[in-house]
Structures are given as structure tokens and as C-alpha cells.
Amino acid sequence: MSTPRDLLNAAKSEIREIDPHEVAARLDHYTLLDVREPDEHEQGAVPGAVHVARGNLEFSIEGRLPDKNAPIAVYCAGGVRSAFAAKTLQDLGYTDVVSIIGGFNKWKDEGLAWDTPRTMTQDQRIRYHRHLLLPEVGESGQMRLLDSKVLLLGAG
């Protein structure tokens, strides 16, 4: 029977890991994927990273990152979930996936750029839940809608 450590070692043997500085130097090359939980993401993230919690990855990723040949750098808090996520992405047919060594914690500790993302409140998440499920809208689209200053009403 395998232990969690055995599973992690097996995943790491099949993926490529990369130093955070290598990714930071080539941000124009990589799409960053944050697989941490929403509460972790809200506390800080790499600017421009796509957020898909690890628990939703298999069923959400194709709607968020449809190009399976684009370079993707995955991070979590410490590098464990991102290793499993990178392996999963490879299994789903993504061809150029790396896991960031040490995750977001190392990214921050190394002094690389990060910020606190603007997010929706819990009440907004509940109210707009159906919009958030649509890949065409998602959280970023819903945030733009909330920022809009124009209301259009139609009469039929």
C-alpha cells in the first residue's frame, strides 16, 4: 500500500519542477495557475495568476485554460498540491506544465512580486454563484460587472 509520501514522490518523478526566479524572469512566457484554496488566494497571489482550487481542477481547468499547449506554471502554498496538480494536468493532455518549487511561500520569501487580489465577498459569491460557474463570466467577469456604472433595462 502506498503512503502519501510515495504518491508525492511518484508524481514528482513524472513532472518538471522549476525555481520561482525562473518563472518570475519569464512571466510573459508562462500562464500562472494558483491551485490553493480560495481563502489562501485572498491573502495574496502572484499578479495575473489564474485561480482554480485544487479540488475543482479536473472539472474546471479546460474552461479556464483551454490551450493545452500553452506553458503553465502551477503553484500552491508549499509545492505539494502543485506537484499533484501538474501531474493531473499532464494526464489531462496539457503538454507544457511545471510546478513551482516551494510554492507561493517561497515566492514571497524570495521577495518576488505579489499582491492581495480583489475578491468578492461571501454574500456576493452566494448571490452570483451561477455567473461564477460560467467560464465566459467567472469571478473576473463578475467583478467587472460589479464595477460597471451603467444599467440597461429591456422591455419586451
Measure the CA–CA gap between 119 and 132, rounded to whole angstroms. Answer: 12
Give the gyration radius of the chain's Cα atoms.
17
Burial of residue 150 (number of CB atoms within 10 Å: 0-12, 13-18, 19+): exposed
The DSSP call for residue 67 is -
Nine cell digits for residue 8? 508525492
Measure the CA–CA gap between 99 and 77, rounded to whole angstroms. Answer: 11
Burial of residue 1 (number of CB atoms within 10 Å: 0-12, 13-18, 19+): exposed
What kind and span of H or E run contains 126?
A: helix 122-127
**Which residues are catalytically annotated?**
76
